Amino acid sequence: MPKRDFLAIPDFTAAELLALLGLAARMKSGAYRERPLAGKTLAMIFAKSSTRTRVSFEVGALQLGGHALFLSSRDIQLGRGEPIRDTARVLSRMVDGIMIRTFAHADVEELARYATVPVINGLTDLLHPCQILADLLTIIEAFGTLKGKTVAWIGDGNNMCNSWLNAAGSLGFELRVACPAEYPPDPAILERNAARTAVLVTRAPAEAALGAHVVTTDVAALMGQEGEAEQRARAFKGYLVDEALMQRANPKAIFLHCLPAHRGEEVTEAVLEGPQSRVWDEAENRLHVQKALMATLMG
């Protein structure tokens, strides 16, 4: 069987995505006792900081009987200019899977092209598919299904927003994106998914949030965009998720945030810590979906 990668949500069919989420739920319930990673190693390359991604993959690999190696790109030869394609081939001779978090999505695609073991995208400037798996599981826990649900994305058309578009297109739920004109989602990803499901792009958070089942946002500047923070703060004025915005949503709506959050910038303390917030379940769900993903690709 050829190796499979997970670089983007559409790398899996809708049926495969739902099966993966079902497996994650089974793992979370404690009913799953298998150790499909026994004797196996995941190499984790990080060119950016991480708490949730690193810990979920590392703990998850251990719980599945395997092992994870933390490789900061500052410390491995990749950071001194060893080509990605060489790194891919060398690691493939020693490990059973590679997770990578970096800046350019093209670098992850190159790694996957040259690696002979599965490659997992742990976040690029373009996409953050592993986070979306956790978010989808959190929605299913809250509502029992994704069917008929509406997700409102408020803020930057960033890696999370692009991955929400992919998820909506793959799984057929409605997505509304409220973003400033200067910070839209990736045009190709938007076009592809708007052809598959109901997608609204608006400048008005109040329009996006109206009746939504999920309201979600993220920081205004990605890791690596800190230099643009001031200019972005100006553009994102009016894109704050506060209690007034949550009141426009469905009465049972939940609030999601991939974290880390900047309280008072993209979301208020009251919403983040409030009764509709599911952010801690969402963070925990990173562990369960990452385990399901490793079991599926490397088991």
Angle made by CA atoms 191, 193, 197, in degrees to the nearest 5: 125
41 binding partner (options ligand CP, ligand NVA, none; Cβ < 5 to 8 Å by kind): none
215 binds ligand NVA (CB under 6 A): no
Phi, psi of 65, deg, nearest 5: 90, 0
Nearer to ligand CP, 131 or 216 (CB): 131
3-state secondary structure at position 256: strand
258 binds ligand NVA (CB under 6 A): yes
161 binds ligand NVA (CB under 6 A): no
77 assigned to active site: no
Candidate ranges 37-45, 156-164, 179-187, 237-245; the one touching ligand NVA (CB under 6 A) = 156-164
d(CA 280, CA 258): 10
Which of 43, 64, 199, 222: binder of ligand NVA (CB under 6 A)? 222
Please name which of 68, 114, 56 lies closest in space to residue 88, comparing C-alpha atoms.
114
Helices 279-298 and 129-143: crossing angle in degrees, nearest 10, is 120
5 binds ligand NVA (CB under 6 A): no
CB distance 136 to 146 below 8 Å: yes
Nearer to ligand CP, 235 or 259 (CB): 259
Nearer to ligand NVA, 159 or 170 (CB): 159
218 assigned to active site: yes
72 Cβ contact list (under 8 Å, min separation 6) = 46, 79
123 binds ligand NVA (CB under 6 A): yes
Please name which of 152, 179, 160, 165 lies closest in space to residue 247, comparing C-alpha atoms.
152
> Assign residue 87 a region: left if phi > 0, alpha if psi is -120 to 50, beta otherwise?
alpha
Per the DSSP assignment, residues forming a β-bridge with 28 are: none
132 binds ligand NVA (CB under 6 A): no
50 binds ligand CP (CB under 6 A): yes
160 binding partner (options ligand NVA, ligand CP, none; Cβ < 5 to 8 Å by kind): ligand NVA
Q: Under rule CB under 6 A, how many of the chain's residues touch ligand NVA?
A: 10
Phi, psi of 154, deg, nearest 5: -120, 115
Nearer to ligand CP, 52 or 176 (CB): 52
d(CA 133, CA 165): 13
218 binds ligand NVA (CB under 6 A): yes
197 binding partner (options ligand NVA, ligand CP, none; Cβ < 5 to 8 Å by kind): none
Which residue is associated with the tokens 């020693």? 94
290 binds ligand NVA (CB under 6 A): no
Which amino acid, one-letter code, is at 26? R
112 binds ligand NVA (CB under 6 A): no
Q: Looking only at residues 123 through 182 of this chain, which bind ligand CP when binding is defined by CB under 6 A?
A: 123, 131
d(CA 194, CA 190): 6
158 binding partner (options ligand CP, ligand NVA, none; Cβ < 5 to 8 Å by kind): ligand NVA
246 Cβ contact list (under 8 Å, min separation 6) = 209, 215, 253, 255, 271, 274, 276
Which one is catalytic: 11, 52, 105, 128? 128
- Residue numbers at the binding site for ligand NVA (CB under 6 A): 123, 128, 158-160, 218-219, 222-223, 258
Which residues are at the interface with ligand CP (CB under 6 A)? 50-53, 123, 131, 258-259
Return the active site residues: 101, 128, 131, 218, 258, 286
